[in-house]
Amino acid sequence: MRGEFFLFNSCSSVSGGALLIALVSGDAAVKFETMSPVESVKRVLVILRGIFHPKGIFVPDPVQYSLGEKIA
């Protein structure tokens, strides 16, 4: 879906640890707001694993996650 996790940004250089931010926009953002946190994390992992698995890179489950609020 267009706008679904269209940008991943690593913030480890400023956070002091592993931190990945995923952005959502448009209709995907509206759908995202109705998803459970567990469902959202699973969807992100499907996308990340689809990107990195073909390159032989393992994407582990997150140790911790937090979902942000809508920014208008």
> What is the model's pLDDT at position 72?
57
Query: Where do the H-state alpha helices sit in 1-72?
Result: 12-15, 26-34, 37-52
Q: In this structure, what are the phi and psi dihedrals at residue 44, rounded to the nearest 5 degrees? A: -60, -45
Q: In this structure, what are the phi and psi dihedrals at residue 20, rounded to the nearest 5 degrees? A: -120, 130
From the list 16, 62, 15, 13, the residue with the least C-alpha distance to 40 is 62
Q: How would you write the pLDDT of the chain (72 residues) with one tens digit per residue?
A: 888 889 999 998 998 888 899 999 999 988 988 899 899 999 999 999 999 999 999 999 999 988 877 665
Give the pTM. Answer: 0.81
Q: How far apart are CA 33 and CA 31, in angstroms?
A: 5
- Tokens 């509206």 locate to 30
> What is the model's pLDDT at position 33?
87
> What is the model's pLDDT at position 60?
94
